[in-house]
């Protein structure tokens, strides 16, 4: 495999649609579908998150029915899980309250803590707040923005989760930005640099023509034919 640090640096330099297209270049066909559905709220429109998933589930609409000591112990299990692991990581947290979610798990405190643990950002279908005080350089992609933490508590740690229709398992490779997120098949990592380069070079055939003086339909037709030929 190509040097992982080089691959990670490249992935941080491109947006999620580029990675989505590159995966299809590797597959040789359309149809890759391990990505989020719907529109996410991005705390940082320029932020790109790349890493292995550390996962959990939460609720916040009502207090936990479990004993307080059980709730506290699971909370520590959660933070221990988030702090564990080497290399680039991100938090992927499913809010089981779904579209009714009101508890902002992600704010000034939790972004600072998770960034201190070495995580690169967070992806959740839940709520975020403290927009002016989130840890700098720690992007959060959330389902909504709200003022309250409700009765937020952790229900499950290190488990498969589903956010915006995308299933994520612990240690899955994730690429995420303001467009959404996707799961990168680990078998594709080594091939992504070449696939991204090929895709960008192919798209440049049309983009360069469209941005040049004197562009018209005739030039578009020629550029598109060359574009389609380069893709086959």
Cα–Cα distance, 132 to 118 (Å, whole number): 21
231 pLDDT band (50/70/90 cuts)? confident
Residue-level pLDDT at 48: 98
Where helices occur in the chain by DSSP H, the ranges are 4-12, 16-27, 68-83, 108-116, 192-211, 217-231
Nearest to 54 by CA among 184, 160, 171: 171
Residue-level pLDDT at 178: 98
Burial class of residue 200 (count of CB atoms within 10 Å of its CB; 0-12, 13-18, 19+): middle
Kindly list the structural domains of the chain, giving each domain's residue range(s) and its CATH number in brackets, ordered by start: 1-34+185-232 (no CATH), 38-179 (3.50.30.40)
> If you ran DSSP here, which 8-state letter would residue 185 be given?
P
Residue-level pLDDT at 232: 59
Query: Would you say residue 168 has pLDDT above 60?
Result: yes
Query: Would you say residue 2 has pLDDT above 70?
Result: no
Query: Would you say residue 1 has pLDDT above 70?
Result: no
Judge if pTM exceeds 0.75.
yes
- 193-225: pLDDT as tens digits: 999 999 999 999 999 999 999 999 999 999 999
- 70-129: pLDDT as tens digits: 999 999 999 999 999 988 999 999 999 999 999 999 999 999 999 999 999 999 999 999
- 21-54: pLDDT as tens digits: 999 999 999 999 999 999 999 999 999 999 999 9
Within 10 Å of residue 126's Cβ, how many Cβ atoms?
28
Cα–Cα distance, 76 to 31 (Å, whole number): 40
Averaged pLDDT for residues 180-186? 97
């Amino acid at each position: 495999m190509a040097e992982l640090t080089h691959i990670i640096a490249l992935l941080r330099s491109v947006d999620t649609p580029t990675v989505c297209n590159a995966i299809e270049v590797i597959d040789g066909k359309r149809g890759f579908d391990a990505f989020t559905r719907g529109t996410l709220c991005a705390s940082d429109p320029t932020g790109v998150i790349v890493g292995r998933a550390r996962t959990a589930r939460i609720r916040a609409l009502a207090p936990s029915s479990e004993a307080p000591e059980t709730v506290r112990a699971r909370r520590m299990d959660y933070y221990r899980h988030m702090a564990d692991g080497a290399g680039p990581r991100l938090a992927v947290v499913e809010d089981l309250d779904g579209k009714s979610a009101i508890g902002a798990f992600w704010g000034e405190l939790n972004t600072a803590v998770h960034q201190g643990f070495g995580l690169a950002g967070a992806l959740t279908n839940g709520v975020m707040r403290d927009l002016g005080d989130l840890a700098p350089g720690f992007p959060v992609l959330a389902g909504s923005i709200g003022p309250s933490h409700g009765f937020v508590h952790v229900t499950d740690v290190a488990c498969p989760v589903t956010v915006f229709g995308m299933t994520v398992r612990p240690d899955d490779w994730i690429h995420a930005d303001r467009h959404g997120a996707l799961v990168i098949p680990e078998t594709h990592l080594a091939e992504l640099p070449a696939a991204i380069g090929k895709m960008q070079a192919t798209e440049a055939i049309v983009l360069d023509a469209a941005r040049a003086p004197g562009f018209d339909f005739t030039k578009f037709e020629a550029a598109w034919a060359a574009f389609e030929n380069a893709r086959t």
